Amino acid sequence: MIANKAETRIAAMLVAPSLIGLLVLNYYPIVQSLLYSFFDLDSTTDWIGAPFIGLRNYAVVMASDQFRNTLAFTTGFTVVVVILDLSLGMILAQATFFVPRSMRAVLRAVIIVPWAIPKVIQASMWRWMLNSDVGPIADALVRFGFVAEPPLFLVDRWLAMGSVVLAYTWKGASIAAFFLMGGLALIPKEVFESARVDGAGALRRFFSVTLPMVMPTVFVALLYRSQDALRVFDVVYGLTGGGPGTATDTLSSFAYTSYFRYAQFGRASTYAVVTFALVAAVGIFYIGRVRRNFQFRE
C-alpha cells in the first residue's frame, strides 16, 4: 500500500513534536556548551557581562597537566574496558548457545541483571563491596590469606583505577553480550555442522566461522561501548568521585567538577565540547570502517 500525500502529512505532524523535543533535548546542551566555551564565564559573571575570549579556554585547558592526565586516563580506560567488555561479552554470548536448552532462559536472565541495574545504584553497590573496612571483597581476601591487610581499593591510585574498570566492565560485558547474542543467532547452524564435518576444532570454528560472520555485530558493539566509555560519568563519580585526588577523573567527571564545584562554567564547557568531539570522531571512524569493510542488503 502506497501512502498518499495526506497520510504522509498526518504522519509527519504526529512525529514532529517528538522529533523536535528529541532534537532540543540532545542538541541544546551541546550548542550551549559550545557558546559558553568562548566566554570567560564563572560565578562572578553572568552570560551578558562575560567577556568573549575566543579559543583561550581551549588553549588553557589543553596546556594544563590536568587535561593531559584526564585525557590519558579516559583514553586508557576506554581501551581497556572495551577489550574486556567485548571479550567477556563474547564468552557469555557463546555460553548461552552451549548450555542445555532448558537453561538458556535462566542464563540470559542472569546476564541481563547487570544491564538492568541503574548506574548510580551500581556505583553505590561497588563502593560498598570495595570498601576496605566493611566491604566483603577486602574481608574475603584477608580471611583466605591472600593479603595481610585489607586493600585500600578506593584510596590507592592504581587500585582505584582498577576498581573503576571492574565496576564498569561488570555492566558493560552484559550489554556487549546481548549485542553479540543477536549476531550469533543469525549464523545458520549448517555452517557450524559443515565445519565440524570438515574436522575443524572449537578454536578453528570460532576464528574461521563464528568471528568473521559476527563481525558486523562486533563493530556495532565496539562503537556503542567505545562512545559510552569515552563519556563515562556515573560510575566514576559514584564510586571514586574522581579520586584519589584526580587519579580517576574522566573528561566528563572533571567537567562536572569544574562546573558545579569550582563554578568555572567556560572551562567546564570546554571539557564538555572536547568530550563531544572525541565521541563524534570515534563514531565517524567506526561508521567509515563498517561501510568500507561490510556490505548490507537493503
pLDDT by residue for the chain (298 residues), tens only, comes to: 445 677 778 888 888 888 888 888 888 888 888 888 898 888 777 767 788 888 998 999 989 998 999 999 999 999 999 999 999 999 999 888 888 888 888 888 888 899 889 888 999 999 999 998 888 999 999 999 888 889 999 999 999 999 999 999 999 999 999 999 988 888 888 887 787 777 777 788 888 888 888 888 888 899 999 999 999 999 999 999 888 988 999 999 999 988 888 888 888 999 999 999 999 998 888 888 777 766 554 4
Task: Quote the number of domains for the chain.
Answer: 2
- Beta-bridge partner residues of 52: 39
> Can you give the CATH number for the domain in which 284 is found?
1.10.3720.10
Do 20 and 131 have their domain in common? no
- Does a structural domain hold residue 2? yes
Contact criterion met (CB below 8 Å) for 66 and 147: no
Partners of residue 39 on adjacent β-strands: 52
Q: Phi/psi at 39 (nearest 5 deg)?
A: -125, 150
Burial label, 169 (beta-carbon count in 10 A; 0-12, 13-18, 19+): buried
Identify whether 76 is part of a domain: yes
In which domain, by residue range, is 13 found?
A: 1-26
Asked, for residue 51, whether it belongs to a domain, the answer is: no
Give yes or no: residues 88 and 184 share one domain: yes
Instruction: Indicate if 210 and 122 belong to the same structural domain.
Output: yes
The model's pTM is: 0.86
